[in-house]
Amino acid sequence: MEMSTALQVVLFIASLAFILLAACIIPIAFHVRRQLKRLVHTVEHLKSNVQVLLQDSRELVQNVNVLLNRASQQMDDVGKVVHTVHQWTERADRLVNEVGSAIEPPVFSVVQNMNLIRAGIAMFLRVLFHPSKNKKMKEEKEHV
């Protein structure tokens, strides 16, 4: 009988340990369940926020793509304008060179002729209005 009493004591102690364990595990399980509910609620809230953020990010990327396309188009347009202005500048340079080469020789010859005429008129007027100086110059040239 001693064995059965010892067995009964061990079974009683085991039963008490099981009851104590159950008494501790049940509140812990409820606490874990509440924490898991909070975690699930937080994850769902985060999921909805992430979906909104994802949608906003997609819209932002689309807007950036639209802006980049516009900027690219404008850069292409500016490149075309620069190319056109460059062509016009080259044409204007060629026109100026052609006009200059066509007008420059006659203008230089007219200026040269005007200088010769001016020098001739100046000499004529000097001789006309200062005959005594001319005589002295002639005499000096003859003595030399």
The residues spanned by each domain of the chain are 2-143
Query: Which CA distances in Å does 25 have to 12, 38, 77?
Result: 19, 20, 75
Residue 132 reports pLDDT greater than 80: no
Please report the pLDDT score of residue 131 as a whole number: 64
The mean pLDDT value for 4-33 works out to 91
DSSP state of 144: -
Residue 133 reports pLDDT greater than 80: no
CA distance 64 to 70: 10
pLDDT category of residue 128 using cuts at 50, 70 and 90: confident
| φ, ψ at 124 (rounded to 5°) | -60, -45
CA distance 68 to 110: 61
